């Protein structure tokens, strides 16, 4: 079948994507490679389609499918989507992904190479041709007009036109389309075929498989799930579809394994979705209102939500004040100790069973059994960066214990009005002072060196010497330092005593954490909800972490524009067997940066010998610094495969 016919069939609904397919995951390097191969006449493989009745077909997207039968692509989505986007100049109706991966592709008629648009290199140069523009009806005529105007020699014009005709000929390239047909080809059978065919590509997760079965009977299921995810995202919380499915599964079946959904009817699933949504809404309000954890960055232990959703679904809401406190006690400890960092399904099933048998007390007993001790120790605050597991605890204490601003002495809350009243992360010992004294980045960015301030105070402190400005705070705002668990011994404010300062502050933070958790457990924490607060930001002018934020933001923007998968920031890599934390990295791609089963990748912003050793041992390819990662991607496209030996 000619490519042009395939694209026409997509437009008129004769070819579509099955609902269980994941979104578009190719990057620019893969798109460029595909077009170069097609231009040179190299083989790029055929397509596999599932031919099924249009009525009730589990097709993705809002586009209408043709009556009678429809061909749902099982193999070839990435190639077809890329070619459609380039030739039509827009994504197909079923598109989900980053259109930047195939937008702006240009062809050099002199060198016969493909590159994505770079103004400094291509603007005004007639040798660079926009491929999508060329593929439109009068694209060749428009190029000729421009080329004549720039005075290209006739022989060069002829040669260029021949090469452009060769590029246009890609639309007439014949592709073999193999078809899967028959009444016995149920969704389960087709999903199995899909996974076998795509064994080297983006394999479906267990959640995808569960959703595929559900979508076969309820095509709007995915849209309903996305509606909830978008709602939470708009409130500052980003969750994954698999995570939401876990919560629905827990509410309906009390199980973590998605196989438990096999016998759930469509009506039951729709009901469970609504109940899980309500439970998650309640939990988010509870955690934000009682703990002050009111945005994505400080929300840990996400897989505790399926457990808590089931509890609320079974017991109803509201829980008693005592039960709320004990549930939050369990949640905070699950967050602190990485309860769900490893074998998620195993741990979830343990906790769901403990919940059904012993309620909240059963959950706490289960946690004590695995942890041994639920005491927070000073060494637990030894982490560094905003991604450290204990950073949410520092944020929590600041919100619930009425920490005061070092400049005004007022409690830090969203009731502070004005352009410069927004909360910011502040380094107590300013970075510039510590770097002058040759402390490492991890020492400079120790969690015990963080506190929260209003933007106005942060700007006024800037790079002040800690011995000077802390003495001023103690004099002008008595008790403000103690409210932020900052040691008041002036000797500890000297830069040369920074290590001792950190030790002393960790002691104070651990004591405050244990005191608060103890009050949660015995029900003596106030139940009045805290005011919502603006997301704490990192100011470029304050004594903060702007270097790290800028570096991560820069590589994220480049990845997005280049069509690579977004990384997970502040990622905890855990042992698959026992959940033990092995390493924390600034950004990670556990399934590979180009999707599918490519090598897992990690980014470190600075060297860390123990972390690097652990990453190497467990098979991660890691890079120190964003430029090293970018250089590797520009060379390999991130397509290095895992060893199969």
pLDDT digits (tens, 9 = 90+) for 534-547: 444 333 333 344 56
Q: Quick one: what percent of the chain has pLDDT higher than 90?
A: 40
**Angle separating helix axes 266-286 and 221-234, nearest 10 degrees:** 10
Q: 176: how many CB neighbours lie within 10 A of its CB?
A: 9
Cβ contacts of 159 within 8 Å, gap of 6 or more: 109
Whether the per-residue pLDDT at 53 is higher than 90: the answer is: no
- pLDDT at position 337: 87
Over 80: is that where the pLDDT of 176 sits? yes
The answer to whether residues 249 and 151 belong to one domain is no
Residues 269 and 167 in one domain: no
- Asked if residue 385 and residue 482 are part of one domain, the reply reads yes
Query: How far apart are the C-alpha atoms of 307 and 304, rounded to whole Å?
Result: 5
In a domain, 193, yes or no: no
Mean pLDDT across the chain:
83
Lowest-confidence segment of 96-100, 293-297, 525-529 by average pLDDT: 525-529
- Cβ distance 15 to 9 under 8 Å? yes
For residue 244, the model assigns a pLDDT of 93
Tell me the whole-structure pTM to 2 decimals: 0.71
Dihedral angle at the C-alpha atoms of 277, 278, 283, 289, nearest 10 degrees? 120
Q: Clarify whether residues 44 and 125 are in a common domain.
A: yes
Instruction: List the single range of 289-303, 499-513, 524-538 with lowest mean pLDDT.
Output: 524-538
Q: List the single range of 52-61, 260-269, 366-375 with lowest mean pLDDT.
A: 52-61
Question: Residue 634 has what pLDDT?
Answer: 79
Query: Do 106 and 150 fall within a single domain?
Result: yes
Average pLDDT over residues 599-627: 85
If one compares 566 and 326, the residue with the highest pLDDT of the two is 326
Contact in structure between 415 and 322 (CB atoms under 8 Å): no
Which pLDDT does position 385 carry in this prediction? 67
In the chain, count of helices (H) and strands (E)? 25, 13
- pLDDT higher at 509 or 160: 509
> Alpha-carbon distance 85 to 28, whole Å?
12
Query: Is 411 in the same domain as 316?
Result: no
Q: Among 3, 23, 376, which Cα is nearest to 172's?
A: 3
Q: Among the ranges 116-120, 198-202, 375-379, which has the highest mean pLDDT value?
A: 375-379
Q: At 421, is the pLDDT very low, low, confident or very high (cuts 50, 70, 90)?
A: very low
Q: Please report whether residue 198 resides in a domain.
A: no
Task: Give the residue among 642, 548, 549 at the shortest CA–CA distance from 593.
Answer: 642
Inter-residue contact 598 to 27 (CB < 8 Å) = no
Examine residue 541 and state whether it is found in any structural domain, yes or no: no
Q: 3-state class of 1 per DSSP? A: coil
Instruction: Let me know if residue 642 belongs to a domain.
Output: no
In this predicted structure, the answer to whether residue 558 has a pLDDT above a threshold of 50 is yes
Please give the share of the chain, as a percent, with pLDDT higher than 70. 84
Whether residue 454 is found in the same domain as residue 367: no
Q: Does the pLDDT at position 227 exceed 80? A: yes
**Residues with Cβ < 8 Å from 583, sequence gap 6 or more?**
572, 573, 602, 610, 611, 614, 615
Both 579 and 503 in one domain: the answer is no
pLDDT at 415 over 50: no
Residue 42 has pLDDT above 70, yes or no: yes
Give the whole-angstrom CA distance, residue 225 versus residue 233. Answer: 12
Same domain, 572 and 460: no
pLDDT, greater one: 561 or 325: 325
Question: Does 256 map to a domain?
Answer: yes
pLDDT of residue 508: 97
Q: How far is the CA of 639 from the CAs of 83, 248, 561, in angstroms?
A: 20, 35, 17
Residue 608 reports pLDDT greater than 80: no
Classify 3 as helix, strand or coil.
helix
When divided into structural domains, the chain yields a total of 4
Confidence of residue 188 (pLDDT cuts 50, 70, 90): low
For the chain, percent helix, then strand, then coil, each to nearest 5? 50, 10, 35
Smallest CA-to-CA distance from 152 within 138, 167, 163 is with: 163
The confidence score (pLDDT) of residue 416 equals 44
DSSP 583: E
Q: How many CB atoms lie within 10 A of CB 109?
A: 22
**Interval 190-225: pLDDT, tens:** 666 766 665 445 555 666 667 777 876 787 888 899
What was the pLDDT predicted at 34? 93
Residues 35 and 124 both lie in one domain: yes
Rounded Cα distance, 589 and 443, in Å: 26
Evaluate whether residue 643 is within a structural domain. no
* Between 91 and 574, the higher pLDDT residue: 91
In a shared domain, residues 338 and 397: no
What average pLDDT does this structure show over 424-438? 91
Query: In this predicted structure, what is the pLDDT of residue 528?
Result: 67
Calculate mean pLDDT across residues 401-417: 77
Q: State which of 145, 180, 215 marks the end of a domain.
A: 180
**195 in Cβ contact with 203 (< 8 Å):** yes
Final residue belonging to a domain, choices 464, 490, 522: 522
Radius of gyration of the chain (CA): 28
First vs last C-alpha separation in the chain:
38
Is the domain of 221 the same as that of 360? Answer: yes
Residue 302 carries which DSSP code? G
Local confidence band at 363 (pLDDT 50, 70, 90 cut-offs): very high
Burial of 320 (0-12, 13-18, 19+ CB in 10 A): exposed
Question: Does a structural domain hold residue 197?
Answer: no
60 contacts 17 by C-beta, under 8 angstroms: yes
Question: What phi and psi, each to the nearest 5 degrees, are found at residue 476?
Answer: -85, -30
The Cα-based distances of 549 to 189, 363, 425, 546, 590 in angstroms read 46, 37, 12, 5, 21
Tell me what the mean pLDDT of segment 474-502 comes to.
96
Is residue 467 pLDDT above 90, yes or no? yes
Could you tell me the residue range of the domain that residue 571 belongs to? 546-636
Domain boundary residue, one of 371, 398, 414: 371
**pLDDT in the model for residue 342:** 59
- Residue 528 in domain: no
Report whether 74 contacts 193 (CB < 8 A). Answer: yes
């Amino acid at each position: 079948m000619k490519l042009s016919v395939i694209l026409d069939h997509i437009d008129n609904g004769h070819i579509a994507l099955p609902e269980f397919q994941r979104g578009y995951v190719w990057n620019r390097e893969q798109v460029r490679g595909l077009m170069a191969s097609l231009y040179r006449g190299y083989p790029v493989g055929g397509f596999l389609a599932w031919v099924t009745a249009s009525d009730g077909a589990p097709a993705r997207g809002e586009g209408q499918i043709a009556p009678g039968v429809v061909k749902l692509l099982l193999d070839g989505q990435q190639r077809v989507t890329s070619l459609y986007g380039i030739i039509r100049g827009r994504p197909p109706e079923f598109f989900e992904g980053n259109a930047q991966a195939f937008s702006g592709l240009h062809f050099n008629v002199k060198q016969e190479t493909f590159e994505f648009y770079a103004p400094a290199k291509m603007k005004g140069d007639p040798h660079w041709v926009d491929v999508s523009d060329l593929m439109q009806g009068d694209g060749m005529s428009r190029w000729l007009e421009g080329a004549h105007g720039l005075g290209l020699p006739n022989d060069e014009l002829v040669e260029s036109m021949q090469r452009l005709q060769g590029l246009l000929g890609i639309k007439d390239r014949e592709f073999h389309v193999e078809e899967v047909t028959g009444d016995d080809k149920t969704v389960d059978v087709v999903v199995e075929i899909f996974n076998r065919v795509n064994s080297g590509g983006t394999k479906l997760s267990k959640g995808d498989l569960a959703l595929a079965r559900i979508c076969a009977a309820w095509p709007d299921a995915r849209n309903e799930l996305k509606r909830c995810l978008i709602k939470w995202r708009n409130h500052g919380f980003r969750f994954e579809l698999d995570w939401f499915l876990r919560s629905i599964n827990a509410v309906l079946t009390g199980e973590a394994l998605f196989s438990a959904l096999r016998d759930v009817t469509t009506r039951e699933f729709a009901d469970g979705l609504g109940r899980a949504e309500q439970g998650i809404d309640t939990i988010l309000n509870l955690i934000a209102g009682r703990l002050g954890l009111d945005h994505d960055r400080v929300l840990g232990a996400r897989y505790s939500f399926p457990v808590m959703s089931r509890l609320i679904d079974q017991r109803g809401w509201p829980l008693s004040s005592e039960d709320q406190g004990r549930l939050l006690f369990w949640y905070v400890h699950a967050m602190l100790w990485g309860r769900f960092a490893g074998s998620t399904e195993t741990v979830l099933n343990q906790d769901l069973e403990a919940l059904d048998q012993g309620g909240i007390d059963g959950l706490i007993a289960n946690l004590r059994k695995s942890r041994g001790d639920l005491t927070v120790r000073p060494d637990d605050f030894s982490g560094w960066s905003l991604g450290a597991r204990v950073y949410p605890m520092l944020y929590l204490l600041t919100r619930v214990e009425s920490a005061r601003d070092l400049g005004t002495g007022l409690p830090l809350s969203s009731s502070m009005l004005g352009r410069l009243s927004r909360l910011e992360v502040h380094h107590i010992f300013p970075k510039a002072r510590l770097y002058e004294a040759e402390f490492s980045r991890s020492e400079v960015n120790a969690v015990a060196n963080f506190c929260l301030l209003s933007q106005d105070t942060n700007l006024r402190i800037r790079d002040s010497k800690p011995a000077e400005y802390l003495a001023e705070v103690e004099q002008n705002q008595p008790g403000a330092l103690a409210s932020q668990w900052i040691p008041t011994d002036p000797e500890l404010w000297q830069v040369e005593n920074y290590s001792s300062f950190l030790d002393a502050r960790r002691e104070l933070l651990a004591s405050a954490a244990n005191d608060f958790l103890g009050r949660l457990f015995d029900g003596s924490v106030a139940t009045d909800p805290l005011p919502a607060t603006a997301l704490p930001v990192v100011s470029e002018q304050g004594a903060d972490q702007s270097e790290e934020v800028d570096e991560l933001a820069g590589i994220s923007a480049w990845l997005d524009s280049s069509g690579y998968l977004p990384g997970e920031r502040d990622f905890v890599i855990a042992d698959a067997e026992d959940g033990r934390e092995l390493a924390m990295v600034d950004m990670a791609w556990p399934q590979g940066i180009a999707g599918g089963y490519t090598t897992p990748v990690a980014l470190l912003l600075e060297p860390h010998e123990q972390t690097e050793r652990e990453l190497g041992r467990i098979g991660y390819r890691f890079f120190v610094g964003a430029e090293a990662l970018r250089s590797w991607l520009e060379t390999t496209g991130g397509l290095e495969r895992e060893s199969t030996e």
